[in-house]
């Protein structure tokens, strides 16, 4: 099994976003989720972004999807690929969740 090529280090923004209100959740977000999980070898950040977006669409988590659609673009996933993933997911996770995700994508992509 070959390892993915080196990639830019994934960094969380938990402390900046919620550190004043929920410091422990911010710490876990930054130090465990992003510093550890997102930077593990074996799966490229691009792939982790696609998996994360799919999970958020499936769960109907529109607020978190806003961040992760933009994060996915920074990790090399194109807007076309993200919209295609949402379209594909409509048949597996439900039409309303996909329609909500497309609305979020429109806001994130500025369209």
pTM: 0.87
Q: Which two tokens stand for residue 45?
A: 């950040």
Residue among 43, 53, 45 nearest 79 (CA): 53
One CATH from 1.20.1290.10, 1.10.760.10, 2.60.40.180, 1.10.10.10 for 44-111: 1.20.1290.10
Write out pLDDT tens, residues 8-23.
Answer: 777 788 898 889 999 9
Every domain of the chain and the residues it spans: 1-42, 44-111
Percent of the chain with pLDDT over 70: 93
Q: What is the 3-state secondary structure (H, E, C) of 56-98?
A: HHHHCCHHHHHHHHHHHHHCCCCHHHHHHHHHHHHHHHCHHHH
pLDDT digits (tens, 9 = 90+) for 25-61: 999 999 999 999 999 999 999 999 999 999 999 999 9
């Amino acid at each position: 099994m070959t390892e993915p090529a080196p990639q830019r280090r994934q960094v969380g923004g938990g402390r900046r976003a919620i550190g004043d209100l929920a410091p422990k959740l911010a710490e876990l977000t930054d130090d465990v989720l992003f510093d550890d999980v997102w930077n593990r070898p074996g799966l490229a950040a691009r792939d982790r972004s696609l998996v994360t977006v799919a999970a958020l669409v499936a769960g109907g988590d529109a607020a978190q999807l806003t961040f992760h659609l933009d994060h996915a673009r920074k990790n090399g996933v194109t807007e076309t690929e993200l919209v295609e993933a949402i379209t594909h997911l409509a048949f597996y996770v439900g039409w309303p969740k996909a329609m909500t995700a497309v609305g979020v994508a429109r806001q994130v992509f500025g369209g």
